[in-house]
Every structure is written in structure tokens, then in C-alpha cells.
Amino acid sequence: MQVYNWTKFTKRINVSEPVQSIYNVCTTQQGLEKWFLRSSVFTKPDGSLRRADEYIQKEDMYNWMWHGYPDSTNEKNKIIAANGKDIVQFYFAETCIVTIKISSFSETISIVELTEENIPDDEEHKVKYHIGCMEGWTFYLANLKSILEGGIDLRNKSLEIGGVINS
């Protein structure tokens, strides 16, 4: 039996949209707030803020907040790479690295592949970042597909409803 690798995971989903359309909603403030975040603020290396419709760039810093959580639950970290067409990479959950790759499967279908790696393999991080983040990313990838293909936002947007998979 092969030993399970707790330091990384990969999730893939098919989406009936062109690669560039998916890249747009993964790399702009206004795009990320449609399917993933309540608030996403990107700061350029010179300290100025990116416009909501402007593509993120390598070395940008971000501050993210989610629906269903108070402002005290936020993620502040750095963009590692954004190639302008099909790959974005960022630090997440302390020192983890998330890479989103988008590829064309056919004329009408793209594949979004998300990998989170560099997860510490102690018990706390196995539960918090491997299991917890995998659950979260699985939901948000499904919501990405839902938004792009049908427009239905599956996120819980209520602070009063906690402990649900969709926030």
C-alpha cells in the first residue's frame, strides 16, 4: 500500500467556459468576489491598490475575507505568479502554496486544476490545512462552475449560519 501524501492535494473540475474567461475570474478582485470571496483587496509592490477589474501580478499582496465569517477571519499573503493566461500561484494558509492551472480540454470545456502543497505534515496541519482546505477548495471549485455555467451562487452569505460547507 502506498503511503498517503499529507503535504499536498490536487482537485480538478471541468467548466464549460474558455480558459481566458476562467482566468479572468481567478485573477481579478471583481472576478474572485463572484465565486470565492466576500472581499479581495490587492496591493501592488509600490503600495497602491489594484483596480477591481485589473489582473493581479506577481509580488502583489492580498487581503481576503469570506462570506459567513467575520472580518477577523481573513487571509493576508502574497501572489507568487500570474502569467496572464492560464496559471496563478499564491501563498495560502501560512506557508502553503496554491497553484491554479487552467487548460483547454475541447472547444467548449476547460479543466481547472488546483493544487495546494507545502502543507506541514503534523496532525494539526493535516486536519486544518489538508482536510479543511481540501473541503473548502472542493466547494469553491464547484461554485466557480456553478457561477460560470448557470449563475447560481451557492455560498452562505449569513454570519448567523455557521458550520456549513458553503461558507
For the segment 86-131, what is each residue's pLDDT rounded down to a tens digit?
A: 999 999 998 999 999 999 999 999 999 999 999 999 999 999 999 9
pLDDT, position 151: 87
Average per-residue pLDDT for the chain: 97
- % of the chain residues with pLDDT over 70: 100
70 pLDDT band (50/70/90 cuts)? very high
56 pLDDT band (50/70/90 cuts)? very high
Q: Which three cell numbers stand for residue 75?
A: 487571509
DSSP string, 24-47: HHHSSHHHHHHHT-SEEEEE-TTS
11 pLDDT band (50/70/90 cuts)? very high
Contacts with 80 (C-beta within 8 Å, 6 or more apart), sequence order: 58, 89, 90, 91, 97
pLDDT, position 162: 87
For the segment 123-161, what is each residue's pLDDT rounded down to a tens digit?
A: 999 999 999 999 999 999 999 999 999 989 999 999 999
CATH number of 8-149: 3.30.530.20
d(Cα 148, Cα 163) in Å, to the nearest integer? 26
Please report, for the chain, the start and end positions of each structural domain, with discontinuous segments joined by +.
Answer: 8-149
Nearest to 114 by CA among 91, 94, 75, 87: 87
β-bridge partners, 92: 96
Give this prediction's pTM.
0.96
pLDDT, position 81: 99
